[in-house]
Amino acid sequence: MAIQFYEKEQLFKLDTKSTTYAIGIVDEEKFVGHIYYGEKVSDYRLGYLMRTEEPPFVPSKNDRDRVSFLDSFAMEYPAHGLGDYRESCISIRTLGGNVALSLSYISHEITKGKVPFQGLPSSFGSEEECSVLSILCEDKVTGIRVVLQYGVFEDVDVITRSVKVVNGGAEEVYLTKVYSACLDMDNKEFEAISLHGSWARERHKQVVPISHGKYSVESIRGETSHQDHCFMALQTKGTTQECGEVYAMNFVYSGNFKVMAQSDQFDQVRMVMGIHPEDFTWKLMPGEEFQAPEVVMVYSAEGLGQMTRTFHDFYRKHLIRSPYKDKKRPILINNWEATYFDFNTEKLIAIAKQASELGIEMLVMDDGWFGNRCDDNRALGDWFVNEDKLQGGLKYLVDEVNKLGMKFGIWFEPEMISPDSELYRAHPDWAIAIKGRTPSLCRNQYVLDLTRSEVLDYAYECVAKILRSANIEYVKWDMNRQLSDIGSAELPADRMGELYHRYVLAVYEMQERLMKEFPDLLLENCSGGGARFDPGMLFYSPQIWCSDDTDAIERLMIQEGTALIYPLSAMGAHVSDCPNHTVGRVTPFETRGYVALAGTFGYELDVTRIPAADREMIPEQVAMYHKYNDLVREGDYYRIASYADNHYFDCYGVVSKDKKEALYTFVQVLNRPNYHSRRICLKGLAPEKQYRIEGEERIYIGELLMKAGINVPNPWGDFVGKLIHVTEV
Residue 143's identity, in one-letter code, is G
Contact predicate 567/600, CB 8 Å: no
The values of phi and psi at residue 465, to 5°, are -60, -40
- Alpha carbon distance 172, 398 (integer Å): 54
Q: Which class for 377: exposed (0-12), middle (13-18), buried (19 or more C-beta within 10 A)?
A: middle
- DSSP symbol at 469: H
462: CB partners within 8 A, 6+ apart: 381, 383, 412, 414
- Alpha carbon distance 386, 65 (integer Å): 72
- Alpha carbon distance 114, 16 (integer Å): 15
- Alpha carbon distance 686, 664 (integer Å): 15
Q: From the candidates 548, 551, 606, 614, give the one annotated as an active-site residue.
A: 548
| Secondary structure (3-state) at 625 | helix
- Alpha carbon distance 295, 149 (integer Å): 10
Task: Give the C-alpha distances (Å, rounded to integers) separating 266 from 74, 88, 263, 319.
Answer: 11, 17, 8, 38
Strand segments, DSSP code E, in 392-540 are 407-412, 416-417, 446-447, 474-477, 522-525
- Alpha carbon distance 276, 89 (integer Å): 11
- Alpha carbon distance 285, 60 (integer Å): 34
CB neighbourhood size of 240 (10 A): 12
710: left (phi over 0), alpha (psi -120 to 50) or beta: beta
Q: Residue 20: which H helix or E strand, with range?
A: strand 19-26
Largest CA distance in the chain: 83
Catalytic residue list contains 15: no
- Alpha carbon distance 344, 424 (integer Å): 26
- Alpha carbon distance 265, 86 (integer Å): 10
Chain mean position to CA 365:
26
Write down the number of H helices and E strands in the chain: 14, 39
Adjacent-strand bridge partners of 638? 653
Residue 371's identity, in one-letter code, is G
Question: Nearest CA to 157 among 304, 6, 321, 14?
Answer: 14
Q: Mutual orientation of helices 589-597 and 552-563 as an angle, nearest 10°? A: 10
- Alpha carbon distance 607, 597 (integer Å): 18
- Alpha carbon distance 585, 78 (integer Å): 50
Residue 467's identity, in one-letter code, is L
| Secondary structure (3-state) at 15 | strand
Contact predicate 379/445, CB 8 Å: no
| Secondary structure (3-state) at 313 | helix
Catalytic residue list contains 478: yes
Task: Give the C-alpha distances (Å, rounded to integers) separating 290 from 133, 315, 485, 507.
Answer: 18, 25, 25, 18
Q: From the candidates 449, 478, 551, 614, give the one annotated as an active-site residue.
A: 478
Catalytic sites, residue numbers: 478, 548
